[in-house]
Structure 1
């Protein structure tokens, strides 16, 4: 969420977007990975997903907890944001103030952008959730557009009557900062207060699933035990359904970046987030 690159200007955008964060670490790409994310498409569905190394049997487990649930996945930023600074810098109401419609996000030192990372992970997670009978709503249809703004991203979850909403990001902090953290909402009177207790439970479930499934350590620069309450993000302030953000790692840290840039590791991330959601509903 910090250190976003923002395009200079301001104007309007038909969409509204969610408080965007920055992306995970910036390091060398794993052999065979695509630094631009062009080949990082989710594997074709085969009826069941094979567990990734290090995740045990969690990815393949289906205890029915997700069946019939409506899950909103909010991939941070968008591929067209940087080309439309006037649109994404337009100020929107976030419940307790005003903020930019959206931001461009961050990237690794090798140039792998956060918006591509969040889109790839979201599509992988969408497939896994649908295989388990969940209904999935994405806040954007592709990685080529602009926005939507942070307030509209929240409203998409509200309109869907989501059982849970997850905003997927990666950070752009200093090169010595590493690890992941969950951003939880703080009650904003008249907006999200009723959903905050459930959001906190969701945050802990996602945190535990992600830590166990990926091995990524808790953040050494934000939050306490990887939990970071904030009231400055429109995507959380305006959400009337349980919702949290995850910063999957720091894209400016070499070790985090190498993981986030790996298609194989992004599959592990999706499986770990799936397990976090399953824990929440179980």
Structure 2
């Protein structure tokens, strides 16, 4: 038809054949092409959008099973540690010589100053430093540790209190730490002291077992017993007031001889004190876990 034009979707114009040139010009003008494009809709498939595939939510990894906390081997045990003597005893003679009950109906001096090495390294300092290392190791194993004194600068406590405090604290065992002071410088080795015929029922036999475990632990640490105190290095006595007053299994550990030059050198070294502490802890652990 003359004067008629068609505009494709993409803006192409198609004037009818035989149309005048002016009609073709109007038909193919930009405005006409725009009007034609608006009137014509593209096929549905042209404008259709592909749906994105549905994504499944990621699977959560399985929750790890909560394992119960692992208890340390000595959890629940209370260990009483008595570092023998005290740093202030020498300056307070009246207090340390005051009489106190010996646990068998008699009396005994409150305390003593302890011995020392040839280089004047005092026993009370050795006892305290070993006790501090013992406490740290026992606490690492889960035990609760109570000490008979808080530092190495005070006086006392007296020997009766040193035996009683373990029972008062609900301790399972008492270890009193000392070093011997035999005048003979050739004397060497450790020994263990336990109560003989304890005034308290059920104490003597387990105390002997504790001492045997200590001897074994010291031997494993390459520490030898003093032959002057028997083949096994264990002595039972009735004159140790602290042991007489103890109501729990107790042992007094004489770690070695401070007058012996070789053993004094070991006691004066930090490594040596750690060695004694490790042996004491091993003995306590063996006794409590048995």
TM over 0.5: yes
1:182-193 aligned within 5 A: 182-188=192-198, 191-193=199-201
**Aligned pair partner of 2:278 in 259, 267, 271:** 271
Q: Structure 1 residue runs of 4+, over 4 Å off?
A: none
| Structure 1 position 170 matched with structure 2 position 179 | yes
In the TM superposition, residue 64 of structure 1 has moved relative to its aligned partner by: 4.2
User: Structure 1 CA distance, aligned partners of 2:174 and 2:157?
Assistant: 16
Judge conservation of contact 1:164–1:243 (CA < 8 Å) in 2. yes
| Structure 1 position 95 matched with structure 2 position 95 | no
User: Structure 1 CA distance, aligned partners of 2:261 and 2:270?
Assistant: 16
Judge conservation of contact 1:180–1:247 (CA < 8 Å) in 2. yes
User: Structure 2 CA distance, aligned partners of 1:223 and 1:143?
Assistant: 32
| Structure 1 position 209 matched with structure 2 position 209 | no
Which residue is equivalent to 1:236? 243
Unaligned 5+ runs, structure 1: 1-61
User: Structure 2 CA distance, aligned partners of 1:63 and 1:268?
Assistant: 25
User: Structure 2 CA distance, aligned partners of 1:249 and 1:263?
Assistant: 15
Q: Give a deviation string over 1:154-203, Cα, whole Å, max 9, x none.
A: 11101012111100000000212110000011114xx3342111111111
User: Structure 1 CA distance, aligned partners of 2:235 and 2:274?
Assistant: 25
Which residue is equivalent to 1:45? none
**Aligned residue pair count:** 218
Which residue is equivalent to 1:114? 123
Higher fraction of helix: 2
User: Structure 2 CA distance, aligned partners of 1:258 and 1:72?
Assistant: 27
Q: 1:64 to 1:205 in 2, by over 3 A?
A: farther
1:61-210 aligned within 5 A: 64-96=72-104, 97-173=106-182, 174-188=184-198, 191-210=199-218
Q: Give a deviation string over 1:19-76, Cα, whole Å, max 9, x none.
A: xxxxxxxxxxxxxxxxxxxxxxxxxxxxxxxxxxxxxxxxxxx994422100000000
Q: Give a deviation string over 1:82-109, Cα, whole Å, max 9, x none.
A: 0001100111111222111100000000
* Larger RCO: 1 or 2 (CA < 8 Å, sep 6+): 1
User: Structure 1 CA distance, aligned partners of 2:191 and 2:264?
Assistant: 15
